[in-house]
Chain A
């Protein structure tokens, strides 16, 4: 077991209905394909480039049979859970994994534009004796990445209560002793505007730093299919 761990929380399963409204016009299969690609993209950036990190992929316990082949890799720990309740997932991780790693990083699976060097930066910020948090949010102030060292029940409880809303979380942690590092915003793909932004981001050459050519091709399939929505 390593001292660092990353947990990838699937936004897709827990918000399927909301996403189908927010991504009006997308077929059910393509929504699934979009979120699978985003999830795999995170894994691709973590694996191989980030040694000595335990990776935990959270997956819906009711969709065990739908686990893509790419996840069946000994480098990951698959955690099957009732993903409709983030509270249950975090409570479960609090009972074991959070305690057995000094530095923990929770990432939503629909996050894009996190480079391998960003993970290194997050862990560097956590790798000190003093209690620290690393938070990346999106433009709408939803927490996309939440890192912490020295597990604190209070922090995790407040994260659960805030439902990953950055402002709500800050309003709750009145006696928190963790120093916060707020790093660059991250794009979470949760609606048509985010999808358009994803297209703009991936159109830039520098996107290759966090999205490989095969991943680009998967996204391009969607951009072609839904080109009318990109106008």
Chain B
């Protein structure tokens, strides 16, 4: 029976924090693999400026290409519309028996605002990434209660910080995989705000 993790996000850019965290989740949840799915437009970041979907997808591909238990999917990007998790889960449920949806710690407290949260729970187990620095639970509703919290390593890397550093001509060595760094430089990403 195939059990996979689905890790959605903007991934602008994919960084080592994402990869280290995903590796932990794969191990702790005994997943066959984790599929990274970059959003075309995140419902929660509709007004935020992001790099082109193609650049984000390309960076994911080169970051994951050597890792046997990571994959990426262009499903949401190909939809060319706001990427709702429920739609993605319905699609992937056609292929996989068991899905674990990996979300950030703060997302679980907003989960009731997501599109069709009840349906999401029927299709996937929610895995919440938690760090040592995470604040205590804001509240416990049925979604928090149903979720599995996974303590991840305290790798404090932020995509926003990476973009800001590149914009400020500061180095981002060790924050992103080397090939992603080369891609950012070659394509002059994040130079303009």
Binding site for B on A (CB under 8 A): 130, 167, 170-171, 173-182
Contact A179 B27 (CB under 8 A): no
* Binary contact track B115-152/A, C-beta < 8 Å → 1, others 0: 00000000000000010100011000000100111111
Chain A residues within an 8 Å CB radius of B136: 175
Contact B27 A178 (CB under 8 A): no
Contact B150 A182 (CB under 8 A): no
Binding site for A on B (CB under 8 A): 24, 27-30, 130, 132, 136-137, 144, 147-154
Other 20 A-B pairs with CB < 8 A, given A177-B151, A180-B27:
A130-B154, A167-B148, A170-B149, A170-B150, A174-B130, A174-B144, A174-B149, A175-B149, A176-B151, A177-B132, A178-B151, A179-B24, A179-B152, A179-B153, A180-B24, A180-B150, A180-B151, A181-B27, A182-B27, A182-B28
8 contacting pairs across A/B (C-beta < 8 A)? A130-B132, A130-B154, A170-B28, A177-B132, A178-B151, A179-B153, A180-B27, A180-B150
Of all chain B residues, the one with the shortest Cβ separation from A137 is: B30
Report the separation of the CA atoms of residues A34 and B29 in the bound assembly, to the nearest whole angstrom. Answer: 32
Contact A182 B148 (CB under 8 A): no
Q: Which of A178, A179, A180 has the most CB of B within 10 A?
A: A179
Beyond A179-B153, A181-B27, A182-B27, whether A170 also contacts B148 by CB under 8 A is yes
Q: Looking at the assembled complex, report how far the CB atom of A160 sits from the nearest CB atom of chain B, in whole angstroms.
A: 19
The 10 closest A-B pairs by CB, nearest first: A174-B149, A182-B27, A170-B148, A180-B28, A182-B28, A177-B132, A179-B151, A171-B148, A176-B151, A179-B153
Q: Looking at the assembled complex, report how far the CB atom of A157 sits from the nearest CB atom of chain B, in whole angstroms.
A: 16
Contact A176 B27 (CB under 8 A): no
Q: Looking at the assembled complex, report how far the CB atom of B109 sits from the nearest CB atom of chain A, in whole angstroms.
A: 12
Chain A residues within an 8 Å CB radius of B151: 173, 176-180
Chain B residues within an 8 Å CB radius of A179: 24, 151-153
Chain A residues within an 8 Å CB radius of B150: 170, 180
Of all chain A residues, the one with the shortest Cβ separation from B149 is: A174
Chain A residues within an 8 Å CB radius of B137: 174-175
Of all chain B residues, the one with the shortest Cβ separation from A132 is: B151
Report the separation of the CA atoms of residues A182 and B148 in the bound assembly, to the nearest whole angstrom. Answer: 15
Report the separation of the CA atoms of residues A182 and B30 in the bound assembly, to the nearest whole angstrom. Answer: 8
Of all chain A residues, the one with the shortest Cβ separation from B136 is: A175
Chain B residues within an 8 Å CB radius of A176: 149, 151
Q: Looking at the assembled complex, report how far the CB atom of A167 sits from the nearest CB atom of chain B, in whole angstroms.
A: 8
Report the separation of the CA atoms of residues A179 and B149 in the bound assembly, to the nearest whole angstrom. Answer: 11
